[in-house]
């Protein structure tokens, strides 16, 4: 049974559109890549599964890390990134990130992005595991929204770029290990369409939506990773999911992110007894790497028998809180929490995927004509644990590199005209996809969360095995397609987590609590 597609189709019977570049996703990685492709003279189509603004970028609070400070340098930024990555960063990839990052950010500023200043230049803050103040931020804690605004505006002005909203990418169209485009489901019309391109770029974001408690937008369900894996692309480091230490933990409230910058400005973590605890876990205290802070919080919760700890900034001046954290303050106020006088109840939640579709330093995947950038990709830059605020920079740097490489790829390239079809999938089964999705995210939280063990991971794999036959059935709705992708990606995370019999970075096994030299290597999956 060939399970490389999610539904039955025949491209000869479908609407077709063709461009030089096809970009899947409308966050920082996708739109920046689209703009660079258009500037290089290419015609570009962008597909996004909901609205253009429905992205992880728009929700990013803390900022973008870049070595702009007088006492900073790319070399220092690289050193901090390597330390946070716990021995699994690709050193060359990190070098590319920190050296090219300042130029990419200046491009963003040239497009109209406005970052906070203090009268002497950019107002830079510090976050966990950074040795210098190097975090650019906008409107206090709305950096991602400012970047999304600028890129969306620039894209709307560009006549070489077409954006199709509410188009759910179903599958890649691959033959002889070459990608020729995608099959997409138009939610508005309820029909499938074919989008052909010489260069296809995955910029589909992360997979936080696999977990019941997460800080991501609802669209972050790992679709790009799932469709690439089905098509035969290599995926890497799938066990390394970052759990942000501080997400709002209030009854009736979503797990809203409480930015790393809150601790960067001097916030303290206190347990249920009011005791500050991070100094006993790490010399950097609240500014330790995220994986260390998250596990310390979970340990304190277990010791005190509480389901939360508290992030205390009541000792900071109201003016600092107003200027730096207006969005956090306003959100907490909706739930009758005044962060000037009330400590913020927090707990860890799924936040970022370090692994993804394996790429080289110019975004090429193992499939010809298919590139990837941003959170769905894995060039090895984040290793086992991403350094705070390196994610937005990652999307800029490697998105721009894709276009530079693709220009060479396109020289003299004459793609063949293939038609694609699938008629072997069974009729859609009667499945309550909403109920299955809920069962899946609860299971992932409990069995494949920040604290893992062999028995729990095996239970998770048993769950996926129970639903494996679903991959042999066609599916009629975008919601059903999304759940099938979640099953595929969740299984990859669980399988890699069971295979890695050590603890490193964002992957922690209570049955193997220490890092092992033998495991200073990557796990790569391919169908």
Return the active site residues: 290
How far is CA 69 from its chain centroid? 27
For residue 279, the tally of other CB atoms under 10 A from its CB is: 13
- Sign of torsion over alpha carbons 96, 99, 103, 104: positive
Q: Quick check: 410 and 199 in contact, CB under 8 A?
A: yes
Q: Rounded to an integer, what distance in angstroms lies between the CA atom of residue 436 and that of residue 440? A: 6
Q: Rounded to an integer, what distance in angstroms lies between the CA atom of residue 226 and that of residue 238? A: 11
Q: Quick check: 390 and 367 in contact, CB under 8 A?
A: no
Which 3 state secondary structure label does DSSP give 55? Answer: coil
CA distances from 104 to 36, 129, 187, 393 (A): 11, 23, 34, 8
Q: Quick check: 339 and 152 in contact, CB under 8 A?
A: no
Q: Rounded to an integer, what distance in angstroms lies between the CA atom of residue 377 and that of residue 17? A: 26
Nearest to 69 by CA among 18, 24, 105: 105
Q: What is the DSSP letter of 185?
A: E
Task: Give me 248's structure tokens.
Answer: 């709002």
DSSP string covering 120-144? SSB--B--TT-SS--EE-STTT-HH
Task: Give me 252's structure tokens.
Answer: 């009736």
408: CB partners within 8 A, 6+ apart: none
Which 3 state secondary structure label does DSSP give 250? Answer: coil
Burial 369-386 (b: 16+ CB within 10 A, else e): bbbbbbbbbbbbbbbbbb
Q: Quick check: 244 and 348 in contact, CB under 8 A?
A: yes
Edge to edge, what strands does the sheet with 356-358 contain?
Answer: 377-378, 356-358, 235-236, 524-525
Phi, psi of 485 (to 5 degrees): -65, -40
Task: Give me 152's structure tokens.
Answer: 């969306």
Radius of gyration, alpha carbons of the chain: 22
Q: Quick check: 483 and 197 in contact, CB under 8 A?
A: no
Taken as a whole, the chain contains a residue count of 527
378: CB partners within 8 A, 6+ apart: 235, 236, 237, 354, 355, 356, 357, 358, 359
Which 3 state secondary structure label does DSSP give 27? Answer: coil
Nearest to 478 by CA among 174, 121, 186, 102: 186
């Amino acid at each position: 049974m060939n399970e490389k597609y999610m539904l039955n189709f025949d491209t000869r019977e479908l609407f077709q559109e063709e461009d030089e570049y096809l970009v899947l996703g409308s966050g920082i990685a996708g739109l920046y890549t689209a703009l660079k492709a258009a500037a290089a003279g290419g015609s570009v189509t962008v597909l996004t599964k909901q609205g253009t603004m429905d992205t992880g970028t728009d929700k990013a609070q803390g900022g973008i890390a870049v070595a702009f400070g007088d006492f900073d340098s790319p070399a220092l930024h690289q050193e901090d990134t390597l330390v946070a990555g716990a021995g699994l960063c690709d050193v060359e990839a990190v070098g590319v990130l920190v050296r090219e990052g300042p130029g990419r950010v200046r491009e963003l500023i040239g497009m109209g992005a406005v970052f906070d200043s203090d009268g002497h230049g950019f107002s830079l803050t510090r976050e966990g595991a950074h040795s210098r103040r190097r975090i650019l931020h906008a409107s206090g804690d709305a950096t991602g929204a400012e970047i999304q605004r600028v890129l969306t505006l620039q894209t709307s002005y560009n006549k070489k770029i077409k954006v199709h909203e509410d188009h759910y990418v179903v599958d890649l169209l691959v033959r002889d290990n070459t990608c020729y485009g995608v099959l997409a489901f138009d939610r508005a019309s309820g029909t499938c369409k074919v989008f052909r391109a010489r260069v296809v770029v995955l910029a589909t974001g992360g997979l936080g939506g696999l977990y019941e408690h997460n800080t991501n937008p609802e669209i972050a369900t790992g679709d790009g990773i799932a469709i690439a894996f089905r098509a035969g692309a290599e995926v890497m480091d799938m066990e390394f999911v970052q759990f942000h230490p501080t997400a709002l933990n209030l009854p009736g409230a979503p797990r809203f992110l409480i930015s790393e910058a809150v601790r960067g400005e001097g916030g303290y973590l206190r347990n249920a007894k009011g005791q500050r605890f991070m100094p006993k876990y790490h010399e950097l205290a609240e500014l330790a790497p995220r994986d260390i802070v998250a596990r310390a919080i979970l340990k304190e919760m277990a010791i005190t028998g509480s389901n939360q700890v508290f992030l205390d900034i009541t000792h900071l001046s109201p003016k600092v809180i107003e200027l730096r954290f207006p969005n956090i303050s306003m959100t907490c106020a909706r739930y009758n929490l005044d962060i000037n006088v009330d400590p913020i109840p927090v707990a860890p939640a799924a936040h970022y995927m370090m692994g993804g579709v394996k790429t080289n330093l110019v975004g090429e995947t193992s499939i010809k004509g298919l590139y990837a950038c941003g959170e769905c990709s894995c060039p090895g830059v984040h290793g086992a644990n991403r350094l705070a605020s390196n994610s937005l920079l990652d999307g800029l740097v490697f998105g721009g590199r894709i276009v530079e490489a693709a220009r060479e790829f396109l020289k003299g390239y004459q793609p063949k005209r293939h038609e694609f079809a699938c008629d072997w999938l069974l009729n859609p089964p009667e499945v309550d996809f909403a109920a299955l999705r809920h069962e899946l995210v609860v299971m992932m939280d409990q069995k494949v969360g920040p604290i893992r063990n062999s028995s729990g991971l095996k239970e998770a794999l048993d769950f996926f095995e129970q639903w494996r036959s679903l991959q042999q059935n066609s599916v009629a709705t975008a919601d059903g397609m999304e759940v099938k992708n979640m099953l595929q990606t969740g299984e990859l995370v669980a399988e890699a987590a069971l295979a890695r019999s050590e603890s490193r970075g964002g992957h922690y096994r209570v049955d193997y609590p220490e890092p092992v030299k033998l495991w200073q290597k990557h796990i790569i999956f391919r169908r």
